Amino acid sequence: MRGTVIHAAGDIRLETLEDPRILHPTDAIIRTAVTCVCGSDLWPYRGVEPTEAPHPMGHEYVGFVEEVGSGVTSVKPGQFVVGSFATSDNTCANCRNGFQSNCVNREFMSTCQADHVRIPNAQGTLVATDGVPDAKLWPGLLAVSDVMGTGWWAADAAEVRPGSTAVVVGDGAVGLCAVIAAKELGAERIIVMSRHEPRQALAREFGTTDIVTERGQEGVARIKELTGGIGADSVLECVGTAQSMQQALHSARPGGNVGFVGVPHDVAVDGQELFFSHVGLRGGPAPVRRYLPDLIGRVLTGRIDPGKVFDLTLPLDQVAEGYAAMDERRAVKTLLRP
């Protein structure tokens, strides 16, 4: 099969790899319908995360089941399925508590920019649709496997409520999906921190009411100005840098909440400052499996269309260009067609 491999910072290649096979009774093999490049893939691409040896890439996927292990009964060959970037048995205590991304048998997907993928914990990870969805819905369902589920978790963790004010820090695919989530959860006012006009336009289409272009303390001051000097009820941190975390924490009102889903890089939180702020902080890898049935339904009925975050579509053999376009901010998110 063909699969994407990173060799070093900036060095992405499509190579011929060994076909995946069933290794455990709980495995399934799927043929990818569409896959994509994630903003978090840019950390190793940019050299922020070192690549010590070549390895496959990709953790977002939807596709057709081709083979299942003897322990998999929830899906069968031929079905169209959506999964999560973090696999889970969906039966352990952590899964039952709604944190499938911290399943005791968790494995993170890392080989999905390919023709075929082995899915561990398939029984608890994969959700089959009723029949094969129209191909025009595949991008939206693909978004559900990570960025839409992660944006939803940001809003959930930040406790977005009907009538509330939410701030979204970050205008990448996760941030844009977080706007969708905040809107769906009833936020009356949604403020997005963004300097990129095409992304601002999509954010407004998704439900944003205000755009803040300032960053750092100037950005925080602008948020305070827009909220009567108090701050927002909920802040959704969707970047993962020290600056974005500080913006998020300082933009929340006392008693407000920050949901952080950007993978942290060089982020440190001052415990004493957090203590006296009365701001709640929760985040981590999104428990996408918790939300899958609901989000799949919203996409299939046309209630939400997170597939709009894909503004560049390329064949899999042009995956290197997909990375470059996102790195250079020529694209929000690249869809790859095997």
Q: Token pair of 320, please?
A: 């290197």
Element (H, E) at 7: strand 2-8
DSSP code at position 98: T
Per-residue pLDDT at 324: 98
Instruction: Please report which confidence band the pLDDT of residue 322 belongs to, taking 50, 70 and 90 as the band edges.
Output: very high
Closest CA to 62 of 135, 150, 124: 135
Question: What's the whole-number mean pLDDT along residues 233-238?
Answer: 98
Per-residue pLDDT tens digits for 56-106: 999 999 999 999 999 999 999 999 999 999 999 999 999 999 999 999 999
Same domain, 142 and 155: no
Q: What percent of the chain has pLDDT over 70?
A: 100
In sequence order, the β-bridge partners of residue 83 are: none
Q: Token pair of 69, please?
A: 């292990």
Domain extent, residue 265, equals 150-283
DSSP SS3 for 280: strand
CATH code for the domain of 170 = 3.40.50.720
Per-residue pLDDT at 121: 98
CB 260 within 8 A of CB 248: yes
Place of tokens 């889970």: 88
Place of tokens 């709604």: 98
Q: How many domains does the chain have?
A: 2
Same domain, 95 and 6: yes
Work out the mean pLDDT of the chain and round it to a whole number.
Answer: 97
Q: Token pair of 131, please?
A: 């029949």
Distance of CA 194 to the CA centre of its chain: 18
Same domain, 264 and 300: no
Per-residue pLDDT tens digits for 154-167: 999 999 999 999 99
Same domain, 159 and 84: no
Same domain, 135 and 173: no
Same domain, 279 and 291: no
Same domain, 171 and 138: no
Same domain, 206 and 272: yes
Per-residue pLDDT tens digits for 297-317: 999 999 999 999 999 999 999
Same domain, 135 and 247: no
CB 152 within 8 A of CB 286: yes
Residue 58: what residue type? G
CA distance 109 to 332: 22
CATH code for the domain of 10 = 3.90.180.10
CA distance 103 to 94: 6
Question: What's the whole-number mean pLDDT along residues 235-240?
Answer: 97
Same domain, 277 and 228: yes
Instruction: Please report which confidence band the pLDDT of residue 321 belongs to, taking 50, 70 and 90 as the band edges.
Output: very high
Same domain, 142 and 164: no
Same domain, 187 and 253: yes
